[in-house]
């Protein structure tokens, strides 16, 4: 058939072909369709080709805000996509047989979370999926969970810790703070991970030498716009206080505080740079540990960059956190669908970091983007002076915040006890007054049936 059509076109001309007018339209539109397809293919990024036996592996995953709860709302049973990279990572590893522990800020009895876990167990045919309540915006919540996990003999098995909990203040938004009055980008994106790993470090170092232990940090290319240079100087780091006024730094003098305009992008970039700097320092911390069994350290840090993905955080950033911005986002959704990855595509670099055999050998600290190793562009990440200054600053910040939090919780507890005592006292007083209303030692009331009958 194609031979006869080609012969007719050559002998009688293209205009003699049937449906010539439609064919001409198709020929004009086809190149644009091919171009859109290639653009979508390029923006979708690389696909992980590494595989690894994950049965019996215990994987702990942190998620940002309500990522898992949102997942079960938009995910109809086992079909469709989910709402975040963390949920897709959990699904990918659970499908391969890993035991998953989801760290979420929601109560483990939350009906949406319960439905999500039940759905995930069914769709992945894996019953070893559980959740623990850990609020990344609360240092106390992190300490309660991590201390409980570490306080166990023998040490609990932990093969992998994936840190993808993240927040992003919308453009033009005001400064938001955590429960410990720390700017949210700095507190959740960086300080929460620092606090969690600082406590879980003994559990990671105590794993048997035959296990391949990996700590995977979720990062972003925006780290190149961050600023931590003042931490290199020991004389200035004592005055370095992260206030996120401009997302970078401000030096607080004894008499006043310098204030500048808050920049959401700079605040996020600095938190990402701090996270990557800490990741490099934490790898050195692990490598410097001398195991009692004299075996080499088997825990490695890996940095994974998902790229630009249609996550709830990205959507919140693009919509400026407003209804009007959401309306504009919906109007432009075909464009965002074209240029941004889906959560499943964004999870590919994390899955490679979790399963690639080469990443389980040699030294750690490698950065993965588009399923391949890339170079870290900022020299501060490997600068030992910056790492030391950042580590000391983080410890001081957490110590101060936890002391203030302990005082605040003690005062709140005292207020609750006094309130409950006052309520009980009020009930007792009311009961006593009512019981003596008859004036006869509380035996009879003035309006009792016997009194009315006597009258």
pLDDT digits (tens, 9 = 90+) for 205-219: 999 999 999 999 999
- Nearest by Cα to 334 from 87, 79, 43, 80: 43
List the structure tokens of 400: 């101060």
User: Minimal CA–CA distance to 340: which of 373, 313, 371?
Assistant: 313
What DSSP element (H or E) covers 353?
Answer: helix 348-355
Backbone angles phi, psi at 77, to 5 degrees: 50, -125
At a CB cut-off of 8 Å and minimum separation 6, what does 73 contact? 83, 112
Name the pairing type of β-strands 99-104 and 58-62: parallel
Domains defined along the chain, listed by start: 2-43 (no CATH), 58-404 (3.40.50.720)
Which residues is 177 bridged to in the sheet? 183
Question: What gap in Å lies between CA 33 and CA 169, rounded to an integer?
Answer: 36
| Residue 416 Cα to chain centre, angstroms | 33
- Which tens digit of pLDDT belongs to each residue from 156-197? 999 999 998 888 888 777 888 899 999 999 999 999 999 999
Instruction: Give me the count of residues in the chain.
Output: 455
The answer to whether the bond into 120 is cis (omega within 30° of 0) is no
H/E run at residue 160: strand 160-163
What is the arrangement of strands in the sheet containing 213-218, beginning at the earlier edge strand?
A: 129-133, 99-104, 58-62, 160-163, 213-218, 299-305, 366-369, 372-374
Q: Residues 34-74: pLDDT tens digits?
A: 999 899 888 888 999 999 889 989 999 997 544 444 444 33
Spell out where 370-444 has E strands. Answer: 372-374
Q: Report the distance separating Cα 298 and Cα 69, nearest Å.
A: 34
For 42-77, b/e burial (b = at least 16 CB within 10 A) is eebbeebeeebebeebbbbbbbbbbbbbbbbeebee
pLDDT of the chain along its 455 residues, tens only?
Answer: 667 667 666 666 666 666 666 666 777 788 888 999 899 888 888 999 999 889 989 999 997 544 444 444 333 333 323 358 888 999 999 999 999 999 988 888 889 889 999 999 999 999 999 999 999 999 999 999 999 999 988 889 999 999 988 888 887 778 888 999 999 999 999 999 999 999 999 999 999 999 999 999 999 999 999 888 666 554 444 434 444 333 444 444 333 434 457 788 888 999 999 999 999 999 999 999 999 999 999 999 999 999 999 888 788 888 887 888 889 989 999 999 999 999 999 999 999 999 999 998 888 899 999 999 999 999 989 999 999 999 999 999 999 999 999 999 999 999 888 888 888 876 555 544 444 444 444 444 445 444 444 44
Vertex 94, ends 88 and 97: CA angle to 5°?
Answer: 155
């Amino acid at each position: 058939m194609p031979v006869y059509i080609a012969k007719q076109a050559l002998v009688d001309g293209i205009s003699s072909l049937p449906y010539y007018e439609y064919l001409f339209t198709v020929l004009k539109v086809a190149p644009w369709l091919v171009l859109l397809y290639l653009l979508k293919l390029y923006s979708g990024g690389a696909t992980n080709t590494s595989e690894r036996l994950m049965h019996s592996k215990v994987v702990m995953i942190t998620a940002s805000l309500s990522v898992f709860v949102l997942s079960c709302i938009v995910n109809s049973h086992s079909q469709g996509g989910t709402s975040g990279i963390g949920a897709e990572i959990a699904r990918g590893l659970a499908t391969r047989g890993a035991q998953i522990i989801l760290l979420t800020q929601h109560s483990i009895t939350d009906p949406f979370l319960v439905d999500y876990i039940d759905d995930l167990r069914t769709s992945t045919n894996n019953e070893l999926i559980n959740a623990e309540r850990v609020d990344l915006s609360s240092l106390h919540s992190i300490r309660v969970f991590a201390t409980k996990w570490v306080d166990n003999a023998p040490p609990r098995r932990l093969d992998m810790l994936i840190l993808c909990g993240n927040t992003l203040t919308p453009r033009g938004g005001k400064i938001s703070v955590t429960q410990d009055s720390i700017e949210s980008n700095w507190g959740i994106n960086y300080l929460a991970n620092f606090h969690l790993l600082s406590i879980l470090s003994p559990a990671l170092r105590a794993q048997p030498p035959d296990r391949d232990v990996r700590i995977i940090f979720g990062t972003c290319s925006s780290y190149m716009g961050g600023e931590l240079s003042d931490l290199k100087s020991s004389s200035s780091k004592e005055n370095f206080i992260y206030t996120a006024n401009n997302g970078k730094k401000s030096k607080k003098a004894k008499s006043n505080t310098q204030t500048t305009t808050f920049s959401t992008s700079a605040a996020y970039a600095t938190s990402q740079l701090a996270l990557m700097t800490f990741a490099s320092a934490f790898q050195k911390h692990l490598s410097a540990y001398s195991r009692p069994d004299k075996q080499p350290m088997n825990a490695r840090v890996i940095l994974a960059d998902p790229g630009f993905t249609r996550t709830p955080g990205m959507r919140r950033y693009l919509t400026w956190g407003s209804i009007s911005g959401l309306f504009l986002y919906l109007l432009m959704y075909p464009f965002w669908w074209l240029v941004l990855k889906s959560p499943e595509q964004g999870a590919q670099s994390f899955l490679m970091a979790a399963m690639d055999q080469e990443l389980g050998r040699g030294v750690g600290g490698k950065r993965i983007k588009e399923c391949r190793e890339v170079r870290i562009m900022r020299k501060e990440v490997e600068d030992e002076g910056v790492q030391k200054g950042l580590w000391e600053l983080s410890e001081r910040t957490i110590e101060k915040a936890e002391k203030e939090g302990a005082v605040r919780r003690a005062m709140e507890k005292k207020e609750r006890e006094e309130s409950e005592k006052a309520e009980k006292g009020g009930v007792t007083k009311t009961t006593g007054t009512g019981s003596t209303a008859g004036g006869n030692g509380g035996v009879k009331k003035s309006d009792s049936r016997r009194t009315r009958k006597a009258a």
